[in-house]
Structure 1
Amino acid sequence: MSKRGWLKTSDGVRLEMELGIEPNEGERFPGVAVVCHPHPGFGGDMHNAVVRSMATAAWEEGYVPLLFNFRGTGRSEGTQSGGVNEPLDVDAAVTYARKLATDGRVLLMGYSFGAKMCTMWLNGGGKATAFVGVAVPSTTDYPDYSDVPSLYITGEFDDVAPLDDGLSRSLMTGGLHVVVEGSDHFFHR
Structure 2
Amino acid sequence: MSLRTEQWTCQGLAGTIACTVDYPEGDPLGWALVLHPHPLYGGTRDNKVVTTVSRTCVQAGLLCVRPNFRGVGASQGSFDRAVGETADMVRCVEQIRQTWPQAVAGPWVLAGFSFGTAVAAQLYAELADRNVPLPARLMLIGCAVERFRYRALTLPLETVMVHGEIDEVVPLAESMEFARAHQLPMTVIPDASHFFHGKLLMLRQVVHNSLAGL
TM-score by length of 1: 0.84
Q: For residue 107 of structure 1, what is the aligned residue in structure 2?
A: 109
2:121–2:155 Cα contact (<8 Å) kept? no
Superposed counterparts of 1:82-97, under 5 Å: 82-97=81-96
Structure 2 gaps of 5+ residues are: 129-133, 199-214
Match status 1:131 vs 2:142:
no
Superposed counterparts of 1:174-185, under 5 Å: 174-185=183-194
Aligned sequence identity (%): 23
Q: Structure 1 residues 98, 104: closer, same or farther in 2, change over 3 A?
A: farther
1:2–1:22 Cα contact (<8 Å) kept? no
The amino acid that maps onto 2:67 is F
Kindly indicate which of the two structures has a greater share of residues assigned to helix.
2
Which range moves more in the overlay, 48-57 or 163-172? 163-172
The amino acid that maps onto 1:44 is G
Aligned length: 185
Please give the root-mean-square deviation of Cα atoms over the aligned residues, in Å. 2.6
Q: Structure 1 residues 74, 175: closer, same or farther in 2, change over 3 A?
A: same
Q: Structure 1 residues 89, 136: closer, same or farther in 2, change over 3 A?
A: same
CA distance in 2, matches of 1:147, 1:81: 26
SS in 1 for 2:169: coil
Structure 1 gaps of 5+ residues are: none
1:51-87 Cα shifts (integer Å, max 9, x gaps): 1111111122222211010011101111222222010
Equivalent residue for 2:7, pick from 1, 4, 9 = 4
The amino acid that maps onto 2:47 is N
2:7–2:21 Cα contact (<8 Å) kept? yes
Q: For residue 163 of structure 1, what is the aligned residue in structure 2?
A: 172
SS in 1 for 2:147: coil
